Structures are given as structure tokens and as C-alpha cells.
Amino acid sequence: MSLVKNEPITRWYQEPWVWAILGVLAVTFIWGSYRIYYAFQIQDSVVVDDYYKTGKLINTDLTRDTNAQDLKIRANMLIDDLTGEVRITLQGDISDWPKQLRLSLLSPVFADRDKVILVNRSITRDESTQIYVGQVDEAVEGKTYVQLETLDEHIPEVGYETGWRLNQPLVLKTGVTSELLPRGSSKQP
């Protein structure tokens, strides 16, 4: 009686389980390398907000948001889908409306889709309601951070002393009016 079995000897590279394990390791290494490369090539962009640096602290300057709430400023914005005209109707307790405002349409994901345009005041009969008109190159749809603000200067280490700002995330649709309210306001006038 012989204790030796007559099974054929297979080399390691002929075994399927070895290739399965090496395949999983290779795919994991290649995918991880690609994700690391992609992370260094595509950097996140920060949505613009009013920050100023004091020492090592970063604080948000809410002066203009508070001013907009105190002045009861509200806006209705309409983007024409054919011409790209942006029409903003403003209401509030302001006696001297600025001639120009800055409208920022900021993508929450892609910085190259951000649009900053100047809107100019149009002639209106009613002093309590003002209309501002501007132009965008291409349609802006979907979730967008919308900022409508005066053209005030930011003073380092102090912040903003004057002006107002409406800052709100909206889901924009061309041809549909969107309402901008001051921070902390309710929908009812």
C-alpha cells in the first residue's frame, strides 16, 4: 500500500484563486491611485460669503444681511429663457436706491459655472418698487446660491459698514419668478 497519491502537481500561477486574489488587489490599487490623482487635480471651490480674518479666527460678517432685514428688502427675480435677460423687482424701505447691484449666481458644485453680473436700475414710476435689469450669457437652472448685493467696499479687520445683501439658495428655472428674502425673514410681507 502506497501513501503517495498520484495527483498532478500544479504551479502557483496555474491556480485560479491566486489570480482572483491578485486581481482584487490590482483593481483596488489602480482605483485608489486614480482617486488620489483626481482629488489633487479637481479642488473644491468655496461658495463666496463675507468672511474676515481676525487673528486665527474666521468670522462671518452679517452686517449687510441684517441691514437688508431692517430695510425690509425683498426681491423677485426672473430669468428670460430666450434672451437671457435678468429682471429683478425690488421692494423695501429705501429712499435712495443704488444705480447698480451685483448679482452672483453661484453653482454649489462647479466653480466654472459661477456667474457674476451687474444689474442696472431701470426707470420706474413707483418709488417703492425698483426694477433692475441685467444679462446672462447662458441659461442658469437648478440649485444655485443667489446673492444680490450693493457694491460696497469691504474694510479689512472691520467688515462692511454700509449696504445690504440678499443671500439665499434657490432652485432656478428659466421663465419662473424666484423670490429672494433677507436672512431670517418669513415668506409673508
pLDDT tens-digit readout, 140-169: 888 999 999 888 777 666 666 678 889 889
Rg of the chain in Å (alpha carbons): 29
117 and 61 share a domain? Answer: yes
> From CA 87, how far away is CA 148, in angstroms rounded?
12
Which grid coordinates belong to 176?
Answer: 419662473
Asked if residues 139 and 79 have their Cβ atoms less than 8 Å apart, the reply is: yes
Pairing, β 74-79 against β 129-135? unpaired
Looking up residue 148, the CATH number of its domain turns out to be: 2.60.40
Q: Is the pLDDT of residue 189 over 50?
A: no
Number of domains within the chain: 2
Please give the Cα distance from 172 to 179 (Å, whole number): 10
Q: Can you tell me the distance from the alpha carbon of 28 to that of 103, in angstroms, rounded to the nearest whole number? A: 45
Judge whether 189 lies within some domain. Answer: no
Cβ–Cβ contacts within 10 Å for residue 90, how many?
Answer: 23
User: What residues make up the domain containing 152?
Assistant: 51-180
Per-residue pLDDT tens over the stretch 2-50: 566 777 788 888 889 999 999 999 999 999 999 999 888 876 665 555 5
What confidence score (pLDDT) does residue 173 get? Answer: 85
The rounded distance, in Å, linking the Cα atoms of 123 and 148 is 19
Is the pTM above the cut of 0.95? no
pLDDT digits (tens, 9 = 90+) for 94-137: 888 889 999 999 988 888 888 999 999 988 777 778 899 999 98
The verdict on 96 and 26 lying in the same domain is: no
In the structure grid, which three cell numbers stand for residue 151, read together? 457694491
